[in-house]
Structure 1
Amino acid sequence: MASILIVEDEEAINELVKRNLQLVGHQCTSVFDGETAVVEIQQESYDLMILDIMLPGFNGFDVMKQGNKTPTIFLTAKSSLTDRINGFSMGADDYMTKPFEMLELLARVEAVLRRTQKSESSFEAGDVKINFKSRQVFHVGQLVECTPKEYELLEVLVNNRNIALSRERLLDLVWGYDFEGGTRTVDVHIQKLRKKLGWEDKIKTVYKLGYRLEVGR
């Protein structure tokens, strides 16, 4: 997957972001101040930088000015309109404020990587291959007919692989907040995906919560 630089001086947040990005397959490097971040992006090539603004040494805006146009998501407590406009005017690809939800950050990371063509165009696990561009799914080389919602659910599971997702969260991500059906809809679609893909051992049921796609990183 992608090579990502995390620039965050709060160690707990830095580690949380790093662990979750690694769970879904990304390679991550953590730094904790602006000066080290500048050295890092000038010496190494990264697909994406997740950047705080309030940092020791150079602040996040200084890092952007001295950077090498690495795609960047600001992740910061600075939530004013002025700060947002400043961030985007400097070329940031996205801007998130703290506190934040990890699943939203993962989704935004995936969106930026796709826009910058740094994300993988396909995914493979065992006998299953998914082509994201064509939205086609293959099992043992044979095309699998998936409904639009089955495919969207599968893509959410893949993008958040190795992370436990509640039924409610899956319902929101795939069907939307205004969907009037219950979480049983998720269970039915999960069972169909397991059967179609032979993933009875990969889509794990998380007791009293939901599901997790368990695959190698």
Structure 2
Amino acid sequence: MKDYHLLIVEDDISVGNMLQEALEIEGYEVARAYSGTETLMFLEKKKPDLILLDLMLPGLSGDELITHLDGVPTIVTSARSDLDSKIEILKKGACDYVTKPFVISELLARIEAHLRLVSERKGATISVEDDVIRAGKIALDTSLMTVIIGDKETNLTRTEAAILSILMRNAGRPLGRNTILDRISEETPDCTERSLKQHVSNIRKKLQQLDDIDHIETIYGIGFQFNES
């Protein structure tokens, strides 16, 4: 049995039933939600390893919901096929986008691929204790706004610390620019989409000065990804 818990967010009962049956045959543990609001209530109690998300939901739509999924890998399944919609959803934080109608074998393959990344992340040395976030040999103190790698240390601005915190908590996973901005909006209301790129560039340079490694990867058309090494 695959030791993964998946959440299907789909208001079309027949589609949801088909997905659940296919996933359970593969050995996944499956839960269901039928609206955006129900999904948020579910996530307060349990965090799945991956979410399959339809966009056309009653109440809180999938477009609105996706920025509130707290780093859970999310594959969007939608009848929208235009490129602009796909790009916008990926920028908001989805890890993949599958257009309906889809071939179930392809969707299962995509799910398996993304869950491999989840497994790698679980095995990664990421920890959060009090105000200190650790990823491998890198430690970020969010209260002092400092980064330590080995015996070297550098200071960050408040905005840089907030951005790096989000990236490190999601190490190894691409984050869209809008996702980053949404999650740091309360701490750094002055950070904009235009200035985000410069802030990330500043963080990258400061980290490189400590161990001569580029820890932040630019994912074209999506955003940024933090890598331990």
| TM norm structure 2 | 0.50
Select the residue among 38, 60, 63 that pairs with 2:65: 63
Specify the code of the residue in structure 2 equivalent to 1:28: V
| Structure 2 residue matching 1:49: 3-state secondary structure | strand
Residues in 2 aligned to 1:24 and 1:66: alpha-carbon distance in whole angstroms: 28
Residues in 2 aligned to 1:118 and 1:54: alpha-carbon distance in whole angstroms: 32
Residues paired across the two proteins, number: 121
**Unpaired segments ≥5 residues, structure 2:** 124-229
| Preserved CA contact (<8 Å) 1:2 1:119 | no
Select the residue among 3, 21, 26 that pairs with 2:28: 26
Deviations 1:4-25 (A, max 9, x none): 0000110000010001100010
| TM norm structure 1 | 0.53
| Preserved CA contact (<8 Å) 1:41 1:68 | no
Please state how far the C-alpha of 1:118 moved relative to its aligned partner. Answer: 6.8
Please state how far the C-alpha of 1:82 moved relative to its aligned partner. Answer: 1.4
Q: Hey, what does 1:42 align to over in structure 2?
A: 44
**Unpaired segments ≥5 residues, structure 1:** 122-217
Q: Percent identity?
A: 34
| Preserved CA contact (<8 Å) 2:67 2:93 | no
Q: Hey, what does 1:75 align to over in structure 2?
A: 77
Q: Which runs of 4+ in 1 moved over 6 A?
A: 118-121
Residues in 1 aligned to 2:112 and 2:41: alpha-carbon distance in whole angstroms: 25
Q: Hey, what does 1:116 align to over in structure 2?
A: 118
Q: Hey, what does 1:170 align to over in structure 2?
A: none
Please state how far the C-alpha of 1:119 moved relative to its aligned partner. Answer: 10
Residues 19 and 58 of structure 1: is their aligned pair in 2 closer, same or farther, counting only changes over 3 Å?
same
Residues in 1 aligned to 2:67 and 2:17: alpha-carbon distance in whole angstroms: 25
Q: Hey, what does 1:14 align to over in structure 2?
A: 16
